[in-house]
Amino acid sequence: MVKIKSQKPPKKDAPIATRARTPAAPPPDRFLNRELSQLAFTERVLAQAVRDDVPLAERLRYVCIVSSIIDEFFEVRMPDLIDEMRESGGWGPAAPQWESFVRISARAHALVDRQYQVFNQVIAPALEARGIVILSHARRNAAQRKWVREYFELEVRPLLSPIGLDPSHPFPLLMNKALNFIVQLEGKDAFGRPSSVAVLKVPRVLPRVIPLPAKLAPGQQAFVMLSSVIRAHLQDVFPGRSVPGFSQFRVTRDSDLWVDEREVHNLRQALRMELTQRHYGAAVRLEVLRTCPPHLEALLREHFALPQEAVYRVDGPVNLVRLNEMVDHLKQPELRWPPFVPAWPAKLKLGADMFGRLREGDLLLHHPFESFEPVIEFLRQAAFDPKVVALRMTLYRTGASSILVDLLIEAARRGKEVTVVVELKARFDEEANIGLAERLEKEGAQVVYGVVGLKTHAKLLLVLRREQDGKRTRLAHYAHLGTGNYHPTTTRLYTDFGMLTADPAICRDVERVFMHLTSLAKVEKLTHLWLAPFSLHKQVLAAIAREAAWARKGKPARIIAKMNALIDEATINALYEASAAGVRIDLIVRGACALRPGVKGLSENIHVRSIVGRLLEHHRIYYFRNGGADDVYLSSADWMGRNLFRRIEVAWPVLDAKLKLRVLNEGLRPYLEDTAEAWVLGPDGAYQPPKGGPGARSAQRLLIESLAESA
């Protein structure tokens, strides 16, 4: 285990200021642009694809991940800007938000261009050097072309329905992010009319990456793209016509669901109806091939009512995320990360009575280095234990098929009172969660959907068990709180902390949160938990102000916080004030960060770094020195407006001294010392890449080696 250094007053020659000072007048750009910061995170992810120390298949996967992140950026972040300009009546400098839109678009275009450059000039040649090739039509030999033609005739052509555009065949309604072709035609159609353009929708049921039989590519692992298969046989799709021009294209649409919960009587039914429209929201981006004829691009742009800045000409397949299918076909172990097995916690015996163990003290779990199985075992024992009378749980993202849901259903079947708060509005998981809610209700569980206008993002599980206490019987409370979702798959990919506890005060707080969620009654005063949207923001600001007060008294003051995003302006301003007072502040922010560090008189004592590595950094940790008390909180909440004011979130303290030290040693200190995967944010908003080199320290690698087990 990594040892954290004891907290001592800084030396006289320490570079961190400790004297209070008057903050400088706020510069006009004291906050970094959120959208540009989000794109900067995506650039950091793309940088993983060119690292020699990252296995080749994983480098290809990073290229795919970048496409997925960019897609969500356009589906969720860009629609507000574009809608505002549409409503104003047009594009151009007179439109509101035009300047921001142009700046963001320029950054996005550069990112996409770089992504395709990395794929074409770095990843594809490296794969080919290993005998892994993607064969275009021009590179396929006669035998391969024969096989591709047979595949097209048997598997593809029967599913195609090209639409020639004319007054009776208007432009078809196209789904969000679906692959399509626009085709220029010459000659007359079957009725002697000179129709000139057709649209071909590519069915989603077809695989986008197709492996060739091994006998057709001796010594190689060869693939063809579905788009290449169709492109090679476009002439066959339009017999009797010539095809002088064409392009793949894909339109990205606004995909953020919205229902007015105050006006609906059944949220689940309203969301189900809204889901049918998600794929057909307003267009926000158009992708075409670099070789797309200008007049076809203009036709598409006019149809989707988009400015030139929203058109992305790409040098390759218009949806690189589908190359994940190719990654799944690569079986060579040296092309992937060395596997590891999450360890069973040393403080928990296999087969132990979970309730007896928790009566001895709290159990801290650090995923994915330690197994998520103890949480499943806790719920399993609760479901089958006749002494357990009630279970309450929040579900935000858990997957369409979940052992946790199966256990909740089993508990309900056994007559226990099972209450589940299912968040139907978990973005892009709405449909799966509706299905889970219906399954639970059919088996007798009480399902509620949280609070109107708020997402329930807290990760809580409460078990009530009837136990003998001397001569009388009492209801004992046990709880699990987590920084990540109840999702057994992502617990192997995301870094998160979870805590199992029988602490009466914390369990009482958890019970009061559930009472609020189900009854909508006012929240009773909580002893330990910070709860959004009520107290969490106030408590964070108070803790920051307390550190500033310590610094003004000339005492050592320290804040370390780790999270996914830092956007809330009030929190940032509080950190600026604490910095000016002399508080040493280290922030580990994976994604978007609107705080500008290192500005003299404003934030010179604040340092921001972002860790991008093999695992997705996901835990939220808040540390405040507080005069030597060393307050440590774990949370489900980032420091963003949506988390602090528009969600049900919790932060809870780690009270056990040994567990507190463990959080510091595993969740913060290694990341502050990381030189292999840490990007450092400068005052100008640019991130400096990791130092790297021989002997570079990787927090993730260190934790895998020290906590997990070798596969």
Distances (CA, A) of 637 to 88, 538, 586, 641: 35, 13, 18, 10
DSSP-based three-state secondary structure for 366? strand
In sequence order, the 6+-apart residues with CB closer than 8 A to the CB of 200 are: 160, 161, 162, 163, 180, 181, 182, 183, 230, 234, 237
Report the alpha-carbon distance of residue 151 to residue 149 in Å, rounded.
5
Say if residues 476 and 463 touch (Cβ distance below 8 Å). no
Q: Which residue has the tokens 């030139």?
A: 308
Of the candidates 323, 330, 69, the residue with the CA atom closest to the CA atom of residue 207:
323
Query: What is the DSSP secondary structure assignment for residue 322, as one 8-state letter?
Result: G
In sequence order, the 6+-apart residues with CB closer than 8 A to the CB of 259 are: 267, 270, 271, 274
DSSP-based three-state secondary structure for 14? coil
Find how far residue 368's CA is from the centre of its chain.
16
DSSP-based three-state secondary structure for 168? coil
Say if residues 390 and 464 touch (Cβ distance below 8 Å). yes
Sign of torsion, CA 360 366 369 373? Answer: positive
Residue 174's Cβ-side half-sphere holds a number of Cα atoms within 13 Å equal to 25
Residue 540's Cβ-side half-sphere holds a number of Cα atoms within 13 Å equal to 35
For the beta carbon of residue 195, count every other beta carbon within 10 angstroms: 16
Q: Which residue has the tokens 């070798």?
A: 710
Say if residues 375 and 480 touch (Cβ distance below 8 Å). yes
Say if residues 425 and 271 touch (Cβ distance below 8 Å). yes
Annotated catalytic residue: which of 233, 366, 457, 607? 457
Helices (H) and strands (E) in the chain, counts: 22, 29
For the beta carbon of residue 371, count every other beta carbon within 10 angstroms: 22
In sequence order, the 6+-apart residues with CB closer than 8 A to the CB of 312 are: 108, 109, 112, 285, 286, 287, 288
Of the candidates 592, 564, 560, the residue with the CA atom closest to the CA atom of residue 575:
560
Say if residues 636 and 482 touch (Cβ distance below 8 Å). yes
Is 457 designated active site?
Answer: yes
Q: What is the CA radius of gyration of the chain?
A: 28
Q: Which residues are catalytic?
A: 457
